[in-house]
Amino acid sequence: MQNQKILILNFGGQYDQLIARRVRECKVYCEVRSYTMTLAEIQEFNPIGIIFTGGPDSVYKEDSYHPAEGIFELGIPILGICYGCQLLAHHLGGVVTTAEDGNAREYGKTLTFYKNSCLLFDGLSEEGISWMSHGDYMKKVPEGFKLVAHSEKCPNVAICDEERKFYGVQFHPEVNHTENGTVMIHNFLYRICGAVGDWTMEDYMHRCIEEIRSKVGSGQVLLALSGGVDSSVCAALFAEAIGSQLTCVFVDHGLLRKDEGDEVEEAFKKWSLNLIRVNAGERFLGKLAGVTEPEQKRKIIGEEFIRVFEEEGKKIGRTDFLAQGTIYPDVIESGKENAETIKSHHNVGGLPDFVDFKEIIEPLRLLFKDEVRELGRQLGLPEYMVMRQPFPGPGLAIRVIGEITEDKLGILREADFIFRDEVAKAKLDIQMNQYFAVLTNMKSVGVMGDGRTYDWAIALRSVTTEDFMTADWSRIPYEVLDKVSSRIVNEVPHVNRVLYDITSKPPSTVEFE
């Protein structure tokens, strides 16, 4: 079945993916394409509506970006956002100029007044905050268009020609700061483009599977499986699409949580892929012996990973494609410059470039985390896998403070398991974005039974965060902390003290090392 589709033409704006996300949240399939798409390509794409994104340029400049000629004669509804709105004005007989003396130039949250007789604003209150970011404005509204919103500074905030179904807004309905922005997008899709809401993750999954099959043909695909949500969902997708043409290399560096390695293997049993589990625990521990400095630990683990893959890659021989579970937030992150290395992050998502391959395939590139989880569910991955919290590439090595030994890892695994178990029982896992135990390098005096003990202190860490760049410590109820603490000291030998970390990030980081 062919879904209804929305075409998002990207004119270089920073929120193109966010628009896509909003449209898909409204259960309408969409794709982001470059503004250079030709008229024939647009016709072939056959969208029920088109959205022009924002862009950094000015429409009246000589080399600014413009859509294909003839796009306004296709009879397809168009929503222009910011620069996209100015494009409508510019091409359809209006005038766009620089906002003079700062007049009508707006950035940030702006009180805006709407005429809700316009379908785009139907059902909304007459005023609300919108998010603006424009230095140009429409001096003259094009013929046939009505003015349907204004702000205190700018008279021309939104325009529409309901006959031709062209709508333009100077603000960004896709960002959270715009009150009712999603309703406006919903109105555009349902009231104006006639969407029926026929896009679901199940459909998307089938589409991805078809695409993978046609791209890969009879080729061989290699994927580095870490056991995290993204690489697992990616692996499941390829496994479903091409079965035994997929080889997954799963390096168990011996620094995983309790039972994690086995769980990964178990989850993929139902597919006929080639899953190579490399049990390299001893090798990693050997390299890490005596090492206490956090950055050195990270470096050793990162380098050793590459070596293990190199060896496996050589054994596998021919590879045509590399599969990667890159998701949209990774795409945004990689576009940003890192001012200073606080910690050298090590990711197991990719493979080093010595592996000979034709192309990288990243089927999750346009998906947000919650969409990736939903896709995983559709593919039949177990809930504990799709809901798995983030886990750092260097694993427990950066949660055992100081020197790492097999004994210490054993203690940490048990304590961490108890913590996770109690959090799940108390149903707190939804609110806590990441939570784990850490084995400190502190021993202290305790008393058990009638005897003195001199044993390790476990620290518990839990954070609530949206993006992990900043984080607050979770307010776990005392009763839950009490239960966790008493279980850890009773059930895990050589632990006589449990501490709870109550620092936010910054100044702390989420992990201890």
User: By the criterion CB under 6 A, which residues form the site for ligand XMP?
Assistant: 343, 345-347, 390, 392-394, 434, 468, 505, 509-511
Question: Terminus-to-terminus CA distance in the chain, angstroms?
Answer: 50
Q: Is 494 a catalytic residue?
A: no
**Residues of 84-123 as b/e, b for ≥16 C-beta within 10 angstroms?**
bbbbbbbbbebebeebeeeebbbeeebebebeeebbbbee
List Cβ neighbours of 512 (8 Å cut-off, separation of 6 or more): 398, 399, 401, 438, 459, 461
Give the integer Cα–Cα distance in Å for 21 and 252: 34
Rounded Cα distance, 114 and 111, in Å: 10
Neighbours of 354 (CB within 10 A): 10
Q: Residue 206 or 343: which CB sits closer to ligand XMP? A: 343
C-alpha 96/C-alpha 104 separation (Å) is: 12
Strand partners, 51: 8, 79
Residues 84, 95: Cα–Cα separation, whole Å? 14
- Annotated active-site residue 82? The verdict is yes
Sign for the pseudo-dihedral over CA of 316, 352, 282, 495 = negative
| CB closer to ligand XMP out of 57 and 501 | 501
Q: 77 — phi, psi (to 5°)?
A: -60, 145
Which of 90, 134, 172, 346 is the catalytic position? 172
Based on CB atoms, which residue is closest to ligand XMP, 186 or 346? 346
**Residue 98 or 292 having the CB closest to ligand XMP:** 292
Q: Cα 4 to chain center, whole Å?
A: 25
The residue from 82, 85, 154, 160 that is catalytic is 82
Quote the CA–CA distance of 485 and 476 in Å, as a whole number: 12
Min separation Cβ 503 and ligand XMP, Å: 11
Q: Can you read off the two tokens belonging to residue 489?
A: 């000291």
The answer to whether residue 152 is catalytic is: no
Q: Choose, from 30, 134, 174, 513, the residue flagged as catalytic.
A: 174
Q: Which residue, 174 or 230, has its beta carbon nearer to ligand XMP?
A: 230
Looking at the Cβ atoms of 243 and 390, the one nearer to ligand XMP is 390
Name the residue type at position 220: Q
Q: Which residue has the tokens 């009246």?
A: 60
Q: Where in the sequence numbering do the catalytic residues fall?
A: 82, 172, 174
